[in-house]
Structure 1
Amino acid sequence: MTHTRQTAPGSTPTGVDGEGLDARLVVQRGSFRLDVALTVAPGEVVALLGPNGAGKTTALRALAGLVPVSGGGVCLDGAALDRTPPESRPVGVVFQDYLLFPHLTALDNVAFGPRCHGASKAKAREIAAGWLDRMGLADHAGAKPRRLSGGQAQRVALARALATRPRLLLLDEPLAALDARTRLEVRAELRRHLAEFEAVAVLVTHDPLDAMVLADRLVVVESGRVVQEGTPSEIARRPRTDYIAQLVGLNLYRGTAGGHTVRLEAGPAITTTEELSGPVFVAFPPGAVTLFRDRPSGASARNLWRCEVAGLETHGDQIRADLTGELSLAADLTAVAAAELGLQPGATVWATVKATQTHAYPA
């Protein structure tokens, strides 16, 4: 994946000589207000990540010109697109449900874009055939959408978007409609094509794995605004909201540090290895939690809380316990351990976490 120099969102474009995307998207819809700044360099893939209703798709549609902005603007490669109609923008879009023309073959679906941009029928079909070959779909050129699998239809939609050589590629939940096995294969292919894409790519998803695998940088949107951005590893290591913490599988708390002790805003204190002062976040994975049926005697863990099991669910090959009480947290344990502890909703347990397994950082 290509990594390029980045600047703060909404500042000057990140590419050389004004290349890339520099946008501030302000959209007012009833009581909902979207206000998101995006600065993306050529060759960079940015994922807009967030819960349902956060404004991700609205932002994508505003970039495409399908939703009017009530403030801000969109600048691509130094040119303002605010007054440019959607069909005239150098933008390719892959929608969640593909929106292929049902009466056209795969070849003619892909050729549609070049034809709209002035290519002759023969030239458009030549371009389309080349893209279908790159997608491994040369043998399906004559098939209509109803004869294609979900993965094949997604590849045709991507080929159609790329065939016009867009300067901005927008992908709206491109893998959401695929089954798990197909999703795995298409995600790997999509990563390869995005790595080769030399212009700007913006991906909207609520799936953290899609975002982590496909994007160079994540922009997390909640309630219409950016709450955190950074590389996937930065986001995973230092989440700043409960939504992000749940996304990356961490217990997250906010409090005030004094040395190695963090006093939580609502709850007990947590002992950490980091020595900090002032407002901080503390995070630890569910796998760092050890559960006991009775209060452990002589336990070395400085962090010990009396909790109650609120719920249990299968999480991969483990059991995840949702705990409330002195501290609300999630704990992962094996099915055997859960059975030995006699875990069930309402049961009382003692939870411990070693200070070395916590991670504290400034809020």
Structure 2
Amino acid sequence: MTTDDDTTPPTPSQAEPTPAPPPTDAGTTTGLDARLVVDRTGSRDHTGFRLDVTLTAAPGDVVALLGPNGAGKTTALRALAGLTPLTDGHLRLDGASLEHTPPESRPVGVVFQDYLLFPHLSALDNVAFGPRCRGASKTEARTRAAAWLERMGLADHAASKPRRLSGGQAQRVALARALATRPRLLLLDEPLAALDARTRLEVRAQLRRHLAEFEAVSVLVTHDPLDAMVLADRLVVVEHGRVVQEGTPADIARHPRTDYIARLVGLNLYRGRAAGHTVRLDAGPAITTTEELSGPVFVAFPPSSVTLFRDRPSGASARNLWRCEVAGLETHGDQIRADLAGELPLAADLTTVAAAELDLHPGASVWATVKATQTHAYPA
């Protein structure tokens, strides 16, 4: 029977890494300083993909990488872990260069999407495996593992095998296993994706607390905007291998700069040129705003601010009034979201009662209005 003493160390993608040598310059700035360039333009699969992303973070920071499928988020995470080699750029952690450091020698802990717990080991021995790989004795490793399970609220499950753990418990064991190695960089690849909605809510709150207590750098990859907004101090949005926007969650939500980000935070977004309170869109009509600006701008407003009419409102002025056609309807939370095409393509949210009273259906002609006070314009 296999025990933790004779378990064969896993492949680099599964193993807990061993620490890299400390920086030689004691005065070197701590934290993460990376430019990750991975060029696959000449690869045999002819994907033509190139990642070029700059990431910086101080100890204690939680940075979330957001982006659509294929944007390069996971490639960036694998480059940080050393599982995907850099074509160019640099990777420094606490002043030490890691570009040529093998994965198992980096002070990096990884929580994978499917956790990769050893099925034949208990929760305690799964957590103890990392310290054991770094040379700790069995007793020392298990003592450290027990302390982490206690911290995660899993002391009663120390003897449980992974198959006996719930999704949330397995996620916390995986997090404890990564943290037990005392990493200087913690990488989390979609850490909540495998959980059901109810468990996700609880585990998200617990993960937020653990990340807040972590003294080094955390980088989180997710496609879920709520996970990113709740867990991260700063968001880095990646599209087509490039950073298209970064900032605090509040700033990103307030000032989206691409269609992807606008959809992510639930806003209609347009680009145009402002002259006073009027913004002439690059493609489409003009929008009246409360802000008085000049030059290239973005204009955003939420779907909930759109009011629909089947007939042109008799008392409405021509400002922010557009004739549209219903392109599609779908349930959106406890409301109906109408996708509108026509003079100004936009999304509108309304109650099921309102949708029924308006007799909305694909192809129906409607008039859409938005008050200027509910728009937000900002420099492009």
- Which band: TM-score by shorter chain? over 0.9
Rounded Cα–Cα distance in structure 1 between residues aligned with 2:156 and 2:102: 35
| Structure-2 residue corresponding to 1:202 | 219
% identity of equivalent residues: 86
1:24 aligns with 2:41: no
Which of the residues 313, 317, 320 maps onto 2:330? 313
**Equivalence map 1:195-344=2 (5 Å):** 195-299=212-316, 302-344=319-361
1:147 aligns with 2:164: yes
Which of the residues 24, 27, 33 maps onto 2:50? 33
Q: Deviations over 1:260-301 (max 9, x none)?
A: 111111100001111111110000000000000000011257
Rounded Cα–Cα distance in structure 1 between residues aligned with 2:155 and 2:278: 62
Choose 24-33 or 88-97, whichever is displaced more: 24-33
Kindly indicate whether the alpha-carbon contact (under 8 Å) linking 1:75 and 1:81 is maintained by their aligned counterparts in 2.
yes
Rounded Cα–Cα distance in structure 2 between residues aligned with 1:186 and 1:194: 12
Corresponding letter in the other structure for 2:368: A
Rounded Cα–Cα distance in structure 2 between residues aligned with 1:63 and 1:156: 22
Corresponding letter in the other structure for 2:34: A
1:106 aligns with 2:117: no
**Equivalence map 1:103-142=2 (5 Å):** 103-142=120-159
Corresponding letter in the other structure for 1:264: L
| Structure-2 residue corresponding to 1:174 | 191
Corresponding letter in the other structure for 1:23: A
| Structure-1 residue corresponding to 2:7 | none
Rounded Cα–Cα distance in structure 2 between residues aligned with 1:110 and 1:154: 12
1:57 aligns with 2:68: no
| Structure-1 residue corresponding to 2:210 | 193
Corresponding letter in the other structure for 1:334: T
Rounded Cα–Cα distance in structure 2 between residues aligned with 1:82 and 1:316: 45
Q: Deviations over 1:71-90 (max 9, x none)?
A: 00110000001111100100
Which of the residues 89, 101, 113 maps onto 1:96? 113
TM-superposed deviation, 1:28: 1.2
TM-score, length of structure 1 as denominator length: 0.95
Kindly indicate whether the alpha-carbon contact (under 8 Å) linking 1:25 and 1:62 is maintained by their aligned counterparts in 2.
yes
**Equivalence map 1:156-171=2 (5 Å):** 156-171=173-188
Please state whether the residue corresponding to 2:80 is helix, strand or coil.
helix
Please state whether the residue corresponding to 2:68 is helix, strand or coil.
coil
Rounded Cα–Cα distance in structure 1 between residues aligned with 2:36 and 2:155: 39
TM-superposed deviation, 1:117: 1.1
TM-superposed deviation, 1:146: 1.1
Rounded Cα–Cα distance in structure 2 between residues aligned with 1:34 and 1:83: 18
Please state whether the residue corresponding to 1:18 is helix, strand or coil.
coil
Kindly indicate whether the alpha-carbon contact (under 8 Å) linking 1:301 and 1:355 is maintained by their aligned counterparts in 2.
no
Kindly indicate whether the alpha-carbon contact (under 8 Å) linking 1:260 and 1:273 is maintained by their aligned counterparts in 2.
yes
Rounded Cα–Cα distance in structure 2 between residues aligned with 1:222 and 1:203: 16
Q: Deviations over 1:123-159 (max 9, x none)?
A: 0000000001111111111111111111111000000
TM-superposed deviation, 1:17: 3.9
Count of residue correspondences: 348
The answer for unaligned runs of 5 or more in structure 1 is: 1-15
Q: Which consecutive segments of 4 or more residues in structure 1 shift more than 2 A?
A: none
Corresponding letter in the other structure for 1:24: R
Kindly indicate whether the alpha-carbon contact (under 8 Å) linking 1:220 and 1:228 is maintained by their aligned counterparts in 2.
yes
The change in CA–CA distance for 1:301 and 1:212 in structure 2 (over 3 A counts) is farther
1:345 aligns with 2:362: yes
Q: Deviations over 1:19-45 (max 9, x none)?
A: 000000000123000000000000000
Q: Deviations over 1:175-228 (max 9, x none)?
A: 000000000000000000000000000000000000000000000000000000
